[in-house]
Structure 1
Amino acid sequence: MSDVKSPISLRMFRQSLPARRTTERVSVKALGVAAALASSVSASALAQSASTTLPPVKVDAPQEKPRVVAPAKPKPVMAHARPARHAPSHGTTGARGGAPSMASSGGQGGAGGVPAIVTAANANPYADPVAPYKVDRLASNKFTQPILNTPRTITVLSKEVLDDKNAFTLREIGRSTAGVTLGTGEGGNAFGDRFFIRGFDARNDIFVDGIRDPGVNVRENFYTEQVEILRGPGSSFAGRGTAGGAINIVTKQARDRDFVDFDAIGGFSDHMKRLTLDVNKAISPILAVRVNGLYHDSNVAGRSFVTDYRDGVAGSVVFKPLDNLTLTAQYTHVYQNGLPDFGVPYNRIRNRPYPEGVTQRDTWYGLINRDFQVYKQDFGTFTAQYRANEDITLTSRFRQERAVIDYVGSLAQSGAGYLPRTLIPASVSIGGQSRYQVTNVLDSQTEANVKFITGPVSHEAVIGVEFAREGVTRTNYSGLTSESNGVNVFSGNNVTCSLYLPCTYLPFNNKPYINPNLNNLNRIAVDTKSGYLIETANYENIVIANGGVRYDDYNITSRTQTYSTFASSHSGMTNYNLGLVLKPLPEASVYAAYATSSNPVGAELDGSAANYGGLNTAAQIFPPQYNRAKEIGLKWELFDRHLLATAALFRTDVSGAREVNSGVTTANASYYVQGVDLEIAGNITDKWSAIGGLVLMESKVKSSYVLTNVGLQLANIAHESFSMLSKYKFGDLIGLPADWLEIGGQAIYRSKVYGGNNLIANGAVNVNSLGLPTANNVVLNVPTVLPSYWRFDIFAESKVGEHVTMKFSVNNLFNRTFYDAFYQTANPFVQMAPGRSVYLEAKVHF
């Protein structure tokens, strides 16, 4: 329930009806008149309330599925409003691109004159208001069609899904979403958010409101409206990379209705204290402000010593000085600090991490007097959107960002000093890992959405240009050794500790300091100039063809501060996509798609190893890796069109892949990833919601510098994964409103993950080369592998008052020991996933 506290401008309902749409004129005009009369009455009533003592008007969000007037679709939502089968149609872009108009925010706007239902003031404007697990359209105006009519697999996690998953960070989304595998800072890259989508590294394919967010970071979700995971190559939409897909974070923007949301979460097993505040104020019909705040302090369930502190603020201002002009300013600041957890050692003999039967799962191998981690992120975006007329909308965005990664951590590596007559080591080598990295971004995007009609075919074209400057400065720390380490002996930055009782409290008389050697200070700069054209042709909503082409002029330089080493590379990359959608029914679509993408050298800005995507000043410069993808699929809106089901077959072929052998990097490898992707999202009934998927993949190396690699699968990815989040409203079963009690849960499965280098799963590790003690039962060839796992979560949520909701939840219900990611070296280690996490949450909304 929400209070309407600000007058609604008549301009929200003003529409122009072109003469050429004669087939829709009568119904649209009638509905337009009705909407205008309704808005006049509302405006008059609200105007009187300013000078009288009348109480504020309160509007309840609907509990039942709305009855529909429009015959084209039984659900009167802007993203779903479709023309009659034989009438020409334009897309429903409106003002969706990054700066939603105040008239269309909150899901209030109707498309083509279709009446809108009233939704909660804080509802996701892109989602089905009746089924918030189901998102109908993407936020970017590059995607002019609803998801149903978009020829690619897209997973969208709305804020309701994020809440029910307890997904406080982007990493938790990767941990609990099928088809996504977590990675580590392997290959000289920073530790932070690293994801594999459909088997491809996507750590620099993360976007915020459609603008690339380069450089690894650790991203919070308190300012997030929804997370969009686009699967498959998308260079025509996003630029370089995006071989397996891209992740777009959509931020919360100011709305035209007042509300306040306050959440307080207490954690029993990880001692979490988390507070978030979301306040929106419609100051006038042309000005709205929204502010989000965060305080978070916790440990990590199942791990000793590890701490995680975060705070942040995000603000959005939407100003609409003219009917056709919307200005949006947005700023986000996030600060994170704590003791890092870089993982546990891997047992090369037993072929599993040491917590599997040898050590305790909570054993932490860090050094409490030395280690720390700090992540900072500040970015601001200004968006101007001008609607010249009904058929032309101009949008311009400008982003400036600065992010800092600052840490010293401990890597638990090789075992040593084996126990008598066993292959179990008594000690472990702890290595120092450090980084100080600053990432700066300037990005400008300008594009036009143009609609036109040719005979029975309606078109919408997106024409745009982008200019970006990305820079990374990185170095590391000195002074990582201890002056007082007792019987332990450092070798460089390494110290030998007990495997069972680590050197947690080893004293350090001097603090680590940033390396003063200027030859160790690396500066990487990327300048990109891009132009793109995306066009969608719609024949009477029966056949929809989509195509796009993009050219990127990519120039990268890498040097030390003293110019002692220097390297540069320039690439001109042209990529495209083609898609065809056939709609045998208004609620169903069958599609086929083809797309390309390119990975130029140095595209992973934070990396130093050429075979992992970095630009190494001493390495050979290679042409871009080229990716080609094919996909066929079916999308169907079921259960009164409140649940979207997707089934797709896909294959991506890669050529020019970089690999390393005996210290030599080459770029002639090729491989493929293919599989099936099944997903659902939405409502099965009015009371039963579900979102999840099953992804089965096969990968194989087709050619390699090392002939024995041919036929092997890729490393560091789960080839089978499953996730399903579901909840049911039980309130009416006990004589109360349906939403008084909701009970739900989540099941997650991830298959085993093989370690290896950046390309090949390591299936032949000779353990005799490790210097292990001789034994008759030594296995000569042992593949490094993380075991498969199931994880189960549960939650119960009750609306205990008009404005208060209580929620109890448990993540990892059975306290399974499982692992996030593999760091494959000569002495590998793995990162631990959290143990059982128990939360009690109070939500206040008014």
Structure 2
Amino acid sequence: MAHIKSRKHPAARRLNCSAAVALAFIALPGAIHAQQTKPASAKAATEATLPEVNVQGQAQSYKSDQVSSPKFTQPLVDTPQTISIIKKEVFQEQGATTLTDALRNTPGVTMLIGEGGNSSARGNISMRGFDTAGSIFVDGMRDLGNFPRDIYNTEQIEVIKGPSGSEYGRGAPSGTVNMSSKTPFAGNLNAGSLSAGTDKQKRATVDLNRKLNESSAFRINAMAQDSGIPGRDVAKNKGWALAPSFAFGLNTPTRIFLNLEHIEQRNRPDFGVPTVGLPGYYNAALAAKGIVPPSKVNPKNFYGSTSDFENVNGDMVTARIEHDIRPGTILRNTTRIAKVQHEWMATAPSGAVSDGSGSAAVARPDPNTWTANRSRQTKWQKNELITNQTNLTTEFKTGSIAHTLSTGVEFIYEKQLSKTIAGAGTMSPANLWNPNPSDPISGYALTPNGAQSKGDTMTVSLYAFDTLKLSEQWQLSGGVRFDRYSTENNNVMVDGVRTRLKSSDTLAGWKLGALYKPASNGSIYASVSTSQQPPGGSNFTLSATDTNINNPNLEPQKATNVEVGTKWDVLDNKLAVTAAVYRSENTNDLTTRGADPGQIIQYGKKRVSGVELGVVGNITNQWAVSAGLAKMNTKVVAGSATQTGSSLNWSPELTFTAWTTYKLASGLTIGGGARYVDGMVRSVSNTANAATTNMLNVPSYWVYDAVASYNVNQNLALRLNLYNLFDKEYVASLNNNGNRYTPGGARAALLTANLKF
């Protein structure tokens, strides 16, 4: 019998143009730097004395210079880490409505269907080889739950690549995603949008800001939608949200911000399509008979039921106080109370083209008899959060060395309650080629069966970051965070048996960076950062099973990232160009060592090495661009006999994304984008499982979009978005078993009227 030892207490496809793109990205900063002859001091003096020139007709900039969190003490160009910022100007122009839509603008990010109570058909994010769904933040504070996140109230999305334990505490080795919310400002704004498109797409948003007096303002953002999903009959996204916010003391030493948000979703979820007949599909029983599936199923088929539903109810209240103690010294205190309840009942299909399974499987030679089994699945989960964060940023000198210090303390209480819902009923298998979502359901009477899991985590954190400017050319930076956490998990089984498990520890995350500035607008850097993920850290669930990574007796998983890169703000600081190489390692993974049944021990190690290139901003006043390319090599360095040496699952070797627009003199703006995702493996194993029916790999794909907008007058602009121009059929995400997938969105059109009044 396998047993565990605890140490707590003692090959892929290539993109032909990738080399050319990489050379262009690398050569651009040097070529433009050669044209810059003004010294740093003269340039700074010029910027200090000349007024800002507002160029009429200039495209809105895609470039952001600063992360919203005060933990990042320097502008992006002087931050020694890969950070992608996706501004609202980009995702609004694309007609994107959810976080997963917007994240298509950064390379190295893929979406999964996932399984289990912490997953849904959407929203599972994988980045740089690792699951990142549990590392989502809003305004620098952890956001709980896994549900479709709307971005109607989002100013920018900040994707921090690599371990971020020093900034945010426990988390994935891949990094974090932070959604920065819109806030009131000292001005007036009356804006809204109305969208309608193919597949019954309908959506409206409002963004109103009102200056109440010289030091206070009110802002409200709202959204309502009732939309179908392109190419996916029956499935729909429906909901509304309201986010009022207040600001007091604007332009004074003491500022107060109060933000509220309520969101409701009433969706009909889409749990995908059987993978039967896709390239790479394998069925052992069919293969033994020499039967090849005649074709794939129609990706527009809906295998769920009209009774399927997904309900999200969320409330969040945030209060922030800022006080300028003196010039360069700011004290901030932020308190948040939040609650999200997420429940769904969905029907997941799988292709039943044989009877029995494994060696007992018997093929059905006649494709007309093939069916899709339908599994009825439920989720009921409530997440609650209370957190308070105090931060102090200040500037001072020790001799000739200038410091920018950011330090603080954070208290976090997180609670998750999951109930088991019985009575989802059963549906007979659907005709594989022509499913009927109105088929009857037997035994349908949803009710809790008494089984539940309740987990809560209390964390007290201390952190500090400092940037030392040794000279005009050299900077050193560092950060450290200590988290003292305590997690408790209470489980109640259907029969009333209760289990109570606890885990507590102190985690440390840190980062160090050295940066050289050959010019005021560029930097070359090297950095190292770490993070840890303790048992139960991603889902609040502890396990008494020795072979489960959430066993409280196990060590936290530990991640380290080493990165070397360069960043340049060129073309009068309108365009940011970046390049980085990195290596991340995740250790303390559970795996098997030795002969079967072997010894389960925490010695597993996974490694991701890669190159990431980016360009964002304006090439000219009329031409804007946002593009990125990521190439990574993943490997299980130490694992079981079938895993060691294999690639990590859900990790495409090459990804590319680009979006660009050009504004013509007539007021017409045209543009478009392209995305490429390389093929990826489903399982961390170097041997194929011939006894199952599934897809072992996800094929690569290209997708192209287009946009055209026209300013009718100062109050009205019309925009037409065209998605998937060539109607490419592709696998957007695959489930863990490889027997169902989410098809990529079909060709669609969306017309939006943007109003200012």
Alignment TM class, shorter chain as reference: 0.7 to 0.9
Measure the CA separation in 2 of the matches of 1:289 and 1:693: 37
Partner of 2:465: 534
User: Is the Cα contact below 8 Å between 1:611 and 1:659 reproduced in 2?
Assistant: no
Pair 1:751-2:695 in alignment:
no
Partner of 2:347: 410
3-state DSSP of counterpart to 1:553: strand
Pair 1:367-2:300 in alignment:
no
Partner of 1:814: 726
Pair 1:713-2:657 in alignment:
no
Deviations 1:298-350 (A, max 9, x none): 10111111111021011111101883100000011111112110111223895
Q: Which has the higher strand share?
A: 2
User: Do the aligned partners of residues 165 and 761 (structure 1) sit closer, same or farther apart at CA in structure 2, a change above 3 Å counting?
Assistant: farther
Measure the CA separation in 1 of the matches of 2:183 and 2:631: 36
Pair 1:156-2:85 in alignment:
yes
User: Is the Cα contact below 8 Å between 2:457 and 2:540 reproduced in 1?
Assistant: no
Deviations 1:542-601 (A, max 9, x none): 112110011011211111256711212112111110011100011110010001110111
Pair 1:793-2:705 in alignment:
yes
Pair 1:455-2:377 in alignment:
no
User: Is the Cα contact below 8 Å between 2:542 and 2:552 reproduced in 1?
Assistant: no
Partner of 2:562: 630
Measure the CA separation in 2 of the matches of 1:159 and 1:247: 15
3-state DSSP of counterpart to 2:242: strand
Partner of 2:577: 645
Partner of 2:440: 507
Deviations 1:419-438 (A, max 9, x none): 75368970121111110000
3-state DSSP of counterpart to 1:173: helix
Measure the CA separation in 1 of the matches of 2:45 and 2:588: 46
Q: Point out the structure with max Rg over C-alpha.
A: 1
3-state DSSP of counterpart to 1:148: helix
Measure the CA separation in 2 of the matches of 1:356 and 1:840: 38
Partner of 1:828: 739
For residue 140 of structure 2, the aligned residue among 182, 205, 210 is: 210
User: Do the aligned partners of residues 237 and 112 (structure 1) sit closer, same or farther apart at CA in structure 2, a change above 3 Å counting?
Assistant: farther
3-state DSSP of counterpart to 1:166: coil
Partner of 1:431: 375
Once the 2 structures are TM-superposed, how far is the Cα of residue 501 of structure 1 from its aligned partner? 2.3
3-state DSSP of counterpart to 1:709: coil
Following superposition of structure 1 onto structure 2, how do residues 648-663 of structure 1 map, counting pairs within 5 Å? 648-659=580-591
3-state DSSP of counterpart to 1:800: strand
For residue 306 of structure 1, the aligned residue among 232, 235, 247 is: 235
Q: Alpha carbon RMSD of aligned pairs, Å?
A: 2.9
User: Is the Cα contact below 8 Å between 2:277 and 2:297 reproduced in 1?
Assistant: no
Measure the CA separation in 1 of the matches of 2:178 and 2:250: 29
Which amino acid in 1 is paired with 2:82?
A: T
User: Do the aligned partners of residues 188 and 321 (structure 1) sit closer, same or farther apart at CA in structure 2, a change above 3 Å counting?
Assistant: closer
Partner of 1:479: 423
Which amino acid in 2 is paired with 1:261?
A: A
For residue 742 of structure 1, the aligned residue among 654, 666, 669 is: 669
Following superposition of structure 1 onto structure 2, how do residues 244-323 of structure 1 map, counting pairs within 5 Å? 244-267=174-197, 269-320=198-249, 323=252
Partner of 2:611: 676
Partner of 1:132: 61
3-state DSSP of counterpart to 1:214: coil
Q: Which one scores higher on RCO, CA 8 angstroms, separation ≥ 6? A: 2
Measure the CA separation in 2 of the matches of 1:299 and 1:796: 22
Partner of 1:190: 119
Measure the CA separation in 1 of the matches of 2:314 and 2:497: 28
Partner of 2:333: 396
User: Is the Cα contact below 8 Å between 2:353 and 2:364 reproduced in 1?
Assistant: no
3-state DSSP of counterpart to 1:160: helix
User: Do the aligned partners of residues 470 and 390 (structure 1) sit closer, same or farther apart at CA in structure 2, a change above 3 Å counting?
Assistant: same
User: Is the Cα contact below 8 Å between 1:674 and 1:697 reproduced in 2?
Assistant: yes
Measure the CA separation in 2 of the matches of 1:603 and 1:529: 15
Which amino acid in 2 is paired with 1:828?
A: N
3-state DSSP of counterpart to 2:93: helix
User: Do the aligned partners of residues 636 and 197 (structure 1) sit closer, same or farther apart at CA in structure 2, a change above 3 Å counting?
Assistant: same
Partner of 2:24: none
Once the 2 structures are TM-superposed, how far is the Cα of residue 511 of structure 1 from its aligned partner? 4.7
User: Is the Cα contact below 8 Å between 1:554 and 1:570 reproduced in 2?
Assistant: yes
Measure the CA separation in 2 of the matches of 1:424 and 1:462: 66
Deviations 1:656-689 (A, max 9, x none): 0135898996532101000000000001111111
Partner of 1:549: 480
Which amino acid in 1 is paired with 2:467?
A: T
TM-score normalised to structure 2 length: 0.87
Once the 2 structures are TM-superposed, how far is the Cα of residue 797 of structure 1 from its aligned partner? 0.7
Measure the CA separation in 1 of the matches of 2:477 and 2:409: 19
3-state DSSP of counterpart to 1:152: coil
Partner of 2:70: 141
| Identity across the alignment (%) | 27
Measure the CA separation in 2 of the matches of 1:812 and 1:598: 39
User: Is the Cα contact below 8 Å between 2:535 and 2:552 reproduced in 1?
Assistant: no
User: Do the aligned partners of residues 187 and 509 (structure 1) sit closer, same or farther apart at CA in structure 2, a change above 3 Å counting?
Assistant: closer
User: Is the Cα contact below 8 Å between 2:414 and 2:456 reproduced in 1?
Assistant: yes
Once the 2 structures are TM-superposed, how far is the Cα of residue 502 of structure 1 from its aligned partner? 2.2
User: Is the Cα contact below 8 Å between 1:344 and 1:832 reproduced in 2?
Assistant: yes
TM-score normalised to structure 1 length: 0.78
Pair 1:227-2:134 in alignment:
no
Which amino acid in 2 is paired with 1:387?
A: D
- 435-444 or 160-169, larger mean C-alpha shift: 160-169
Question: Which sections of structure 2, spanning at least 5 residues, go unmatched?
Answer: 1-37, 284-292, 356-362
Which amino acid in 2 is paired with 1:745?
A: G
Once the 2 structures are TM-superposed, how far is the Cα of residue 160 of structure 1 from its aligned partner? 0.5
3-state DSSP of counterpart to 1:306: strand
Measure the CA separation in 2 of the matches of 1:630 and 1:668: 21
Once the 2 structures are TM-superposed, how far is the Cα of residue 609 of structure 1 from its aligned partner? 7.9
User: Is the Cα contact below 8 Å between 1:575 and 1:597 reproduced in 2?
Assistant: yes
Once the 2 structures are TM-superposed, how far is the Cα of residue 613 of structure 1 from its aligned partner? 12
User: Do the aligned partners of residues 809 and 634 (structure 1) sit closer, same or farther apart at CA in structure 2, a change above 3 Å counting?
Assistant: same
- 439-448 or 235-244, larger mean C-alpha shift: 235-244
- 333-342 or 598-607, larger mean C-alpha shift: 598-607
Measure the CA separation in 1 of the matches of 2:470 and 2:74: 13
Following superposition of structure 1 onto structure 2, how do residues 323-334 of structure 1 map, counting pairs within 5 Å? 323-334=252-263
User: Do the aligned partners of residues 813 and 762 (structure 1) sit closer, same or farther apart at CA in structure 2, a change above 3 Å counting?
Assistant: farther
Once the 2 structures are TM-superposed, how far is the Cα of residue 507 of structure 1 from its aligned partner? 2.2
Pair 1:588-2:588 in alignment:
no
Measure the CA separation in 1 of the matches of 2:215 and 2:723: 43
User: Do the aligned partners of residues 513 and 188 (structure 1) sit closer, same or farther apart at CA in structure 2, a change above 3 Å counting?
Assistant: closer
Which amino acid in 2 is paired with 1:178?
A: P
Measure the CA separation in 2 of the matches of 1:293 and 1:388: 35
- 322-331 or 353-362, larger mean C-alpha shift: 353-362
Once the 2 structures are TM-superposed, how far is the Cα of residue 189 of structure 1 from its aligned partner? 2.6
How many residues align structurally?
Answer: 697
User: Do the aligned partners of residues 664 and 83 (structure 1) sit closer, same or farther apart at CA in structure 2, a change above 3 Å counting?
Assistant: farther
Once the 2 structures are TM-superposed, how far is the Cα of residue 700 of structure 1 from its aligned partner? 0.5
